[in-house]
Structure 1
């Protein structure tokens, strides 16, 4: 076999898929804006996390405030205890209950904002 004189021609080897349509770089935000199935998955994920948070806070509130009547029934002498001249059941049903509602509300707002910030970070690709 004889070699031709001069430089050999370069041969380019390519994949048969190079002529296939290239996928475009699609952001999560555009998936949501275009209301695609993937966008629905992201939105439903955010909604589920917010619902899970709301149900958790509601469960804690219901468990603690719901336990007060059981406490009053189980310990009848609790009505005889006074705190600064006010019966203990009244203190528990007013001051403690309102403090718990305010604390749970604060927790819920902070946690839901964190969920939304995490979702925004996901949208921005961070």
Structure 2
């Protein structure tokens, strides 16, 4: 109740933003082009994502390729095995490593393009 004994008074509540002038939004592409702090943060996130992906693929390939000599040192009897008339080390190099490079390369390109597509969607959404 109000002080004068009447029932509760109705009050119109409006958003303060209705009368305020809107600040023009800068599109993210402009932030990137002008190399502002926000634009640099967006670009840094894309570069980091691509770097993580590239290092992950290189590490996986390094483990496989680096593991082959280790395999033949730890199990020397494998060096003398023949598969289809070819020495096992050559079969593994030709049949495992090079096709593995192709598969990892295709996987990397697909995920790198996905990172770029996600970045473009993020930039378009904030525009």
Normalized against structure 2, the TM-score is what? 0.80
Correspondences of 1:2-13 after superposition (within 5 Å): none
Q: Which position in structure 1 is the counterpart of 2:88?
A: 88
Aligned residues: 114
CA deviation digits over 1:15-74, x for unaligned, max 9? 999998742122211111121110000001100000000000000000111000000000
Distance in 2 (alpha carbons) for counterparts of 1:88 and 1:105:
24
Q: Which position in structure 1 is the counterpart of 2:43?
A: 43
Q: Which position in structure 2 is the counterpart of 1:118?
A: 118
> Gapped runs of 5+ residues in structure 2?
1-12
Distance in 2 (alpha carbons) for counterparts of 1:118 and 1:15:
34
Q: Which position in structure 2 is the counterpart of 1:24?
A: 24
Helix, strand or coil for the counterpart of 2:99?
helix
Distance in 2 (alpha carbons) for counterparts of 1:26 and 1:16:
22
Distance in 1 (alpha carbons) for counterparts of 2:103 and 2:16:
62
Distance in 2 (alpha carbons) for counterparts of 1:67 and 1:29:
45
Cα displacement (A) at 1:87: 0.7
Task: Give the RMSD, CA atoms, in angstroms.
Answer: 2.3
Q: Which position in structure 2 is the counterpart of 1:9?
A: none
Q: Which position in structure 1 is the counterpart of 2:106?
A: 106
Larger radius of gyration: 1
Deviates more, 1:42-51 or 1:17-26: 17-26
Normalized against structure 1, the TM-score is what? 0.81
Q: Which position in structure 2 is the counterpart of 1:72?
A: 72
Pick closer, same or farther for the CA change 1:96–1:24 going to 2, 3 Å: same
